[in-house]
Chains A and B, each alone.
Chain A
């Protein structure tokens, strides 16, 4: 028994080497904007659809379970071990490297769109103690009512009646859930995943849309939305924040990923 295991172990590197199909990937790059302008934390002054001036101090959200759509309508869904939290990604405007994520193990081919969940799915939202992006120490976990905060937008506005002119929107929880599936077709073009070509999908994510896409929000009337009932109008705006800005292909470095 033991010997058999050793034998297999000894053979592993060889097996891996001869059967190696290069691991292909695609990348997602995110830029945050407000209307037409790039988002600058604390410094940029913007106006929402209602004409209210505001700044943004914090923007964080979960982008989870990404998958790619093929032209025939089928999907490539990355498979992860049950315990893994690799399918969950915490985007934080304050952390540049969090605005880039990689989808690994993508089979070579052409893909016409991308889908992901803005938030955390019920299974993980109702799971026990977790790690990685889902570690409660990341500060995206509600303790008064357990569950993840899917999206945080905070800042100031002269229109806000709250202390310090602050406004705070925390989206999460809800029945049905405030998490939103977002599908973004690439349109005319598509991305090609090839041994020699690596595609990057550039997303432009518009904070302005969160405040106005479907349900226009007035900061003067809603300086705080910290529970699922108050935050539902914002959640219904949230999917409209995302659009594909452009697609980009570049040569893959040989030997590397």
Chain B
């Protein structure tokens, strides 16, 4: 019976399509409007760091990754998914949460960063502790204050689920659901979250935003380098005289790296508040006030910021206006990235 249905269904679809040109057009439209995001390099961008040739993106692999990303069963008690802390409307950051909330409401120590253009990042996390996008999910999965589930716990759940077994086979061919396949699928999803379509990219800036861009290039672009708005270096931007978070020094072992963090991209920054590694600022106006008059000296402080920046109130406003032009509405609403239907 099942077998016959499997044979008949595509047959019926084919017949319907052949019979009805309008329907065919509609179907094509639908399929066309949801093409799987592919790793592509926008004009003028550098080459990405993650090499998709060893993990080619396919429709079924991407869909599987999208499902895993949104599935709370990946956490120990089934309450938290990746998407709980990485919300699409906040450019996949965690809106309103200074530091991430995980299992049983436990607090982490850092602000969940937005997720996009990850294929360009040489290293992941605020301190760059993770060197490969494929391995990143191991960190939240195993972290007791995030998802609290070890691989030994996650894999059996996936293996015992018929739907996942079907999807893993469609994506990777016959074989066991193992950690590698799970990580590759997640990477196909998070690695193709691409944001490159803001008004800045389309060159549709107002006069004030243009003024902000000029100021930005003078004061900020040495670290927040265009077009990705970061040079991926680790720097101190003067948040604290004595940083509570060890920052990059945990990875490098160098004392002067205490309180240095990865320069974050500023794309979609207007929707991904709060700001900084510990989420201390709620608004961009506060961030600009920090750069103008709140910079603290420390061995970690970048020389470019010593003594703060001379920015008038109008200049700060122009900079905020420019930062707001970096929001990519199409990305925030792209249905290919949203929670899949069950």
Q: Which residues of A contact B (CB under 8 A)?
A: 126-131, 135-137, 139, 141, 143-147, 175, 228-229
Contacts and interface: CB of A to CB of B under 8 A. Distances in A.
B interface, by DSSP: helix, strand, loop or mixed? helix
Contact of B138 (A126, A131, A136): A136
B142 A143 contact: yes
Given A143-B139, A144-B139, A146-B135, A229 B253 contact: yes
Q: Which residue of A131, A228, A229 has the most chain B CB atoms within 10 A of its CB atom?
A: A131
A102 B179 CA distance: 26
B132 A127 contact: yes
B54 A128 contact: yes
Interface of B: 54-55, 129-136, 138-139, 141-143, 150-152, 155, 178-180, 183-184, 187, 250-251, 253
A147 B141 CA distance: 16
A211 to B, nearest CB: 23
Given A137-B151, A144-B129, A129 B143 contact: no
Contacts of B251: 145
Contacts, number: 62
Contacts of A228: 253
A129 B180 contact: yes
17 contacts: A127-B132, A128-B54, A128-B132, A128-B183, A129-B132, A129-B134, A129-B135, A131-B178, A131-B179, A136-B179, A137-B178, A143-B135, A143-B138, A145-B251, A146-B131, A146-B135, A229-B253
Contacts of B134: 128-129
B142 A135 contact: no
B155 A137 contact: yes
A130 B132 contact: no
A137 B155 CA distance: 9
A144 B110 CA distance: 13
A222 to B, nearest CB: 18
Contacts of A229: 253
A141 B129 contact: no
B179 A129 contact: yes
Given A128-B54, A145-B251, A136 B151 contact: yes
Nearest to A134: B180
A126 B179 contact: no
A131 B180 contact: yes
A129 B139 CA distance: 13
Contact of A136 (B55, B135, B250): B135
Contacts of A145: 129-130, 250-251
A135 B179 contact: yes
A36 to B, nearest CB: 36
A129 B129 contact: no
Contact of A129 (B152, B155, B184, B250): B184
Contacts of B180: 129-131, 135
A137 B131 contact: no
Contacts of B136: 146
Given A127-B132, A146-B138, 15 more contacts: A128-B135, A129-B179, A129-B187, A135-B180, A136-B179, A137-B155, A137-B178, A141-B135, A145-B251, A146-B129, A146-B130, A146-B131, A146-B135, A147-B131, A175-B253
A147 B123 CA distance: 13
Contacts of A135: 178-180
A128 B131 CA distance: 9
B132 A126 contact: yes
Nearest to B253: A229
B54 A141 contact: no
Nearest to B181: A129
B184 to A, nearest CB: 6
